[in-house]
Structure 1
Amino acid sequence: MPSIKVKHEYGYIRAGEYQLFTQCFKPSNQSAMVILLHGYLDHAGSFNRLITFLIENHFEVVCYDLPGHGLSSGERATISSFEDYITSLQVIYDRVVPSLTQRPYFIAHSTGAMIGLEFAKRSVERFAKMALVAPLFRPPLWQLSKIGLLFTRKIMFINSFKRIFQTNSSDQDYLLFTKRDPLQEKRLPLSWLEALNKWLRFNDHHTSEDLSFLMIQGDHDKTIDSKYGLKKVQESYPNSQVIIMGNGHHQLLNEGDVIRNQTFSILLKFLKG
């Protein structure tokens, strides 16, 4: 827990058909706000160490569970359209920004980073700064996966797969906690992959060269197609900064102490720079 006085508020905010479980952490000597957004099959509680770090550095933190994740409502781990994710972020943004004297910062992981990027592309002035950690631009072997998706749905009549918990961090305690965490989703619905396919097919070519951000990517990340993501950022967002974390896996925000602390330090320097 942080060593300074913190006001913790939580509750539900409606976004269309969804009730989003939202939390706000306000340190007594806050300097600015950071909006955090988690990745697929995850929830905001996984950011506990990052939240503590930001609070101790005088940032107010707002985070919420995506539809179908954590304590938010919605069919588990799926979505009819990725546009619903964008809408959820828009609702949270509209709720918190009017009370601010300056634009908020944004930090997101994986799928959350992709959602935040699309949100910012529609208005580059929404965030003061953006940090995208291991952003999902495309899953690995995506072209082959699309063929397998069609085969599985049309021929095998399978609607979901059991989640295989990957070794996506060098922190063994975190990996064990994730497997036991009741808020971690345990199945992967094909409907989510279908929604992702539609989203990527439509949005992959829409970019904004005026938009810049910090991208932090682990070189041991097997959860996403990191080579494609790096190439995409270099070509489509040339003003962005990219930092490669040696020996870093997908869960950079929950890595072992050394890599995690390095990641946090990079984020802090970026926010305060």
Structure 2
Amino acid sequence: MTSFVSDQSAATVIIVHGAFEHSGRYDDLASQFHRDGFDVIYDDLPGQGRSPGKKGHIKSFHEYIETIQKWIEKADPDKPVFLLGHSMGGIAVIRTMQKVKPQVEGVILSSPAAGILNGAEKPMEIASYILNRLSPRLRVKASLQPNLITRNEKVILKDEDDDLILDKVSIRWYREFKQGIKEAFRHTDQFPDVPLLVMQAGDDRIVDVSKTKEWFHKIDLTEKSYKQWPGLYHEIFNEPEWPMVYEYSLNFMQLQLKKTKL
């Protein structure tokens, strides 16, 4: 687990990365949050990065929920906590909120994977139901092209040489991910009344923007905000315009912290 902790920090940000990637890709973001007065906790989700076990494989989506819950428990209990989930990590955060209902000050979702563009072809989609029973650990090619997730050339070049980025995932992982999305929609009424900021890439080549909006509008909260970033690709925190995205997130968290002092 990676953490930036200071006695002077006002709150804790827990960062949950997306599919195929790993927590190390968030080092710069975590450092920036820490410079701006936040503790930061983040690590690799099961089956990804340097986490133990078979790469690209999970037995259940609940493994992600349990992992996020452990990260929350690692945070300073005397400081407010914010959850930030990107893409599949956004779905994992949603399901954690619905299932565990942790005490957090706010939730930020970055291009949450409420709907996938260009998923498995229909024959493979059908076959995956059968293979999930017969050979759930079977891994298939399913990588994300760096130039489809960001327009940032530096990030693209770095990702092309990153051995920790997955290019295969198991049949069980795929089915559990899909089920996680279904559950996120099915249990919108179970999402606790916590301030929510959803930020969606406007030119997303990975997730279906309309599904992000659909999920957002189903959620009944006292305070929720939707911000779409025109022209930005999927990884809004890696785009050339990332300072604006970061500032928007920072303002959201600082506003919530001000409310606690009123």
From 234, 251, 254, the equivalent of 1:269 is 251
Conserved? CA contact 2:150–2:233, under 8 Å:
yes
Conserved? CA contact 2:146–2:159, under 8 Å:
no
Distance in 1 separating the partners of 2:5 and 2:139: 42
1:110 aligns with 2:55: no
Aligned-pair CA distance for 1:124: 4.2
Aligned-pair CA distance for 1:201: 4.0
Structure of greater relative contact order (alpha carbons < 8 Å, 6+ residues apart) = 2
After superposition, residues 59-208 of structure 1 pair within 5 angstroms as 59-94=38-73, 96-97=74-75, 99-124=76-101, 126-140=103-117, 145=121, 147-151=123-127, 159-167=139-147, 168-208=149-189
Conserved? CA contact 2:10–2:79, under 8 Å:
no
**What stretches of structure 2 of length at least 5 have no aligned partner?**
256-262
From 234, 255, 258, the equivalent of 2:217 is 234
For the residue of structure 2 that corresponds to 1:254, the secondary structure is coil
Aligned-pair CA distance for 1:193: 1.2
Amino acid paired to 2:69: Q
Distance in 2 separating the partners of 1:189 and 1:74: 12
What CA RMSD, in Å, does the superposition of the two structures yield over aligned residues? 2.3
Instruction: Give the % identical residues.
Output: 19
For the residue of structure 2 that corresponds to 1:105, the secondary structure is strand
Aligned-pair CA distance for 1:198: 3.1
- Indicate the structure with greater strand content: 1
TM-score under structure 1 normalisation? 0.82
Distance in 1 separating the partners of 2:106 and 2:205: 27
Aligned-pair CA distance for 1:132: 0.5
Counterpart residue number, 2:205: 222
Conserved? CA contact 2:46–2:58, under 8 Å:
yes
Distance in 2 separating the partners of 1:203 and 1:231: 11
For the residue of structure 2 that corresponds to 1:131, the secondary structure is strand
Distance in 2 separating the partners of 1:241 and 1:203: 18
**What stretches of structure 1 of length at least 5 have no aligned partner?**
1-21
Counterpart residue number, 1:245: 229
Amino acid paired to 1:161: K
Counterpart residue number, 1:5: none
Deviates more, 1:199-208 or 1:42-51: 199-208
Q: How many residues align?
A: 246
Aligned-pair CA distance for 1:154: 5.7
Distance in 2 separating the partners of 1:235 and 1:72: 34
C-alpha offsets along residues 230-265 of structure 1, whole Å, 9 cap, x if unaligned? 122112345420001011111111111xx2011000
For the residue of structure 1 that corresponds to 2:160, the secondary structure is helix
Distance in 1 separating the partners of 2:163 and 2:100: 36
Distance in 2 separating the partners of 1:267 and 1:198: 28
TM-score under structure 2 normalisation? 0.85
